[in-house]
Amino acid sequence: MKELTYREALREALREEMKRDESVFLLGEDIAEYGSSYKVPQGLVDEFGHERVRNTPLAEAGIIGATLGAALVGMRPVAEIMYIDFSPIAMDQIFNQIAKFRYMTGGTVKVPLVIRTQGGGGVSAGLHHSQSLEALYTHMPGLMVVMPSIPYDAKGLLKSSIREDNPVMFIEHKGLYGQSGMIPEEEYLVPLGKAEVKCEGKDITVVAYSKSLVLALQAAETLEKEGISLEVVDPRTLLPLDEDTILDSVKKTSRLMVVHEACKTGGFGGEVAAIVAEKAIDYLDAPIKRVTALDSPIPFNPRLEDYIIPNEGDIIAGARELMGKEVSAR
């Protein structure tokens, strides 16, 4: 085993897949010499050259259009959109072309591409660089949506995404790039569409992903001292969603909390809650609890941002509420 940061794990995944398959190449704004804003592809241009690590204009629709074209002629492009906030500029390309192309051709044409992008707040980047828009992409049949929480999953899921013959939205959290974790020396893959129980418990199922998963695990440690046991489930892939792992956990604990950094209204937590309500409501001993960001743009001011985005304390308060214990208002 070796210790890598989330950023290093992603870079290693790109390097390994580029060495393994010459059809894999990267494109995006300032990803070559500069290494992009968050430095994931840093140094790869020195190994693979500008043919396979391509700088692009600041033009999201153009980047994604080129990505689709390359995939259709047999390449496996990995595009980077600097912030998920800017991905809607390419929404026509993503929703009406990339997500639908394989369907429109009766499955005869593959669309093997990955769109890497960064979401989430917590770094005082302001309201145009801090949004969590994953629910937009889970609403579009034909896409796969991946959101890794730890370095091990970041590497394994990115490698699987690059090998996938369908288009993948691969959403990273800018607040996780410096987090470290242990990773095997040998090659490995993490399957798409498979959740993982990160922490076993008996009282409350907590479904959390991306940075919220890290907060949920911290809350689980704190609450264990109070006698409240959280079972923390990381979906890892939002689309397709591993419903069985979530439902099995809820049947075990009889309580559900969903945690994410996106705002509550229309957030992915509502989908998880609906699935449990449809398929496991008889197992529930309490209403489903959602711990999310407030329905507000993300402020630049650090204190206001901290107030808007859910934190470990909010998860702890939600758990106490589900267990019928006194809680403090947010």
Q: pLDDT tens, 31-46? A: 999 999 999 999 999 9
Tens digits of per-residue pLDDT, 320-329? 999 997 554 4
**CATH number of the domain at 2-183, please?**
3.40.50.970
Residue 330, pLDDT > 60, answer: no
167 vs 124, residue with greater confidence: 167
CA distances from 216 to 24, 199, 208, 315, 324 (A): 35, 10, 7, 7, 19
Tens digits of per-residue pLDDT, 66-81? 999 999 999 999 999 9
Tens digits of per-residue pLDDT, 176-224? 999 999 999 999 999 999 999 999 999 999 999 999 999 999 999 999 9
Asked whether the whole model's pTM tops 0.85, one would answer yes
129 catalytic residue (yes or no) = yes
- The amino acid sitting at 301 is N
Q: What is the pLDDT of residue 326?
A: 54
The percentage of residues in the chain with a pLDDT greater than 90, rounded to a whole number, is 96
Q: Say which CATH architecture domain 196-322 belongs to.
A: 3-Layer(aba) Sandwich (3.40)
What rounded mean pLDDT belongs to the chain? 96
The length of the chain in residues reads: 330
Q: What is the pLDDT of residue 124?
A: 87
Q: What is the pLDDT of residue 323?
A: 95
Catalytic residue among 50, 128, 129, 260: 129
2-183 shares its CATH topology with 196-322: yes
Tens digits of per-residue pLDDT, 134-147? 999 999 999 999 99
Q: Where are the domains of the chain?
A: 2-183, 196-322
